[in-house]
Structure 1
Amino acid sequence: MAGNGPAPKARKVRRNADTVAQTVLRWERAEPPELPTFEIERDGELREFVWPGRTREWWQMWIDSPQAEHFGSSDWQYLLDTALIHARYWSGNLSLAGELRLRVAEFGATPSARARLRMVFAEADGADGGSGRSGGPSARERYGNLRSLPGGKTGKGT
């Protein structure tokens, strides 16, 4: 009979290792394009497409966003196509809501999308000055003078 206790656990081996090597691309930041002017056919005539004001605000929000500094040319082109979906949505085509939601999630438009993409804001990392504290009193400062009662008594008349 061998030693006491359970047998040591076997070393876990990662079974989902990548089978295909990663492709490393050269990064090139791209400047955001302006919303283009173009014509659409309406009632048999070509008319200039007018971007809704809400879409112009939305486009500027993306240009000013922290994510924008990480966008390449293909990202801006994809977002430009998404702007057209946004414009159609704000012009009353509500059937595009799902596609719009999926597309903006790819860019980290919501807190949950940023969490999924592992995006964090730099100010949040340094907000506590590296102390790891929120600025309020610590638990030791709040409860440092508390002591337990002997015998496990709670002080409630027992």
Structure 2
Amino acid sequence: MAGIGPAPKDPSRRARRNKGPTPQTILRFERAEAPALPTFEIEVDGDLVEFAWPARTVEWWDMWRASPQAEHFGSTDWDFLLDTALIHAKYWRGDLSLAAELRLRVAKHGATMEDRARLRMAFAEADEADGGKGSSGAVAARERYAKLRVVGPDSPDTGH
């Protein structure tokens, strides 16, 4: 007698086929030096004036240039971050409508602990602290319970 329930769906009509992962394209990495914030002119009331970066954006840019993530940035990463600096400058000048875009852009570079976890970034000190074992440093369960023994009616330790 056959199993209970409807007949299985034809494999060609299934939505998920659990195919293997899409092959990756391996690129040659070329580290790029962090550029300085550029000087340029903008039009104000019909006149060209030099754009002045807000002090907070200059500090933010220097922070990114010195960050551990920066050693993994290529030229396109720096270009994207430079465009993000303009958004940062407008945000710090009061255009709060740019907050969401700014947050999304810095997340792509690993700005917060959550972003770095999502991007699978870890600081080297974290690996060195536990000797590369990936543990919290606490005593392992096998070590904590190594001296425990099963005690029961058939155990030689019970005296029965």
| TM superposition score category, shorter chain reference | 0.7 to 0.9
Partner residue, 2:84: 82
Partner residue, 1:17: 20
Instruction: Rate the CA distance shift 1:105–1:143 in 2: closer, same or farther, 3 A.
Output: same
Listed as ranges, the matches of 1:2-151 within 5 Å are 15-19=18-22, 21-130=23-132
The DSSP-based 3-state class of the residue aligned with 1:46 is: strand
Distance 1:73 1:94 in 2: 28
Partner residue, 1:149: none
The DSSP-based 3-state class of the residue aligned with 1:40 is: strand
Q: Which runs of 5+ in 2 are unaligned?
A: 1-16, 149-160
Partner residue, 2:9: none
Deviations 1:54-76 (A, max 9, x none): 00000011011110000000000
Percentage identity across paired residues of the two chains: 70
- Aligned length, in residue pairs: 136
Q: CA RMSD for the aligned pairs? A: 2.6
Give the deviation of 1:137 after TM superposition: 7.0
Give the deviation of 1:15 after TM superposition: 0.6
Distance 1:133 1:73 in 2: 36
Distance 1:140 1:17 in 2: 36
Give the TM-score, by structure 1 length: 0.73
The DSSP-based 3-state class of the residue aligned with 1:62 is: helix
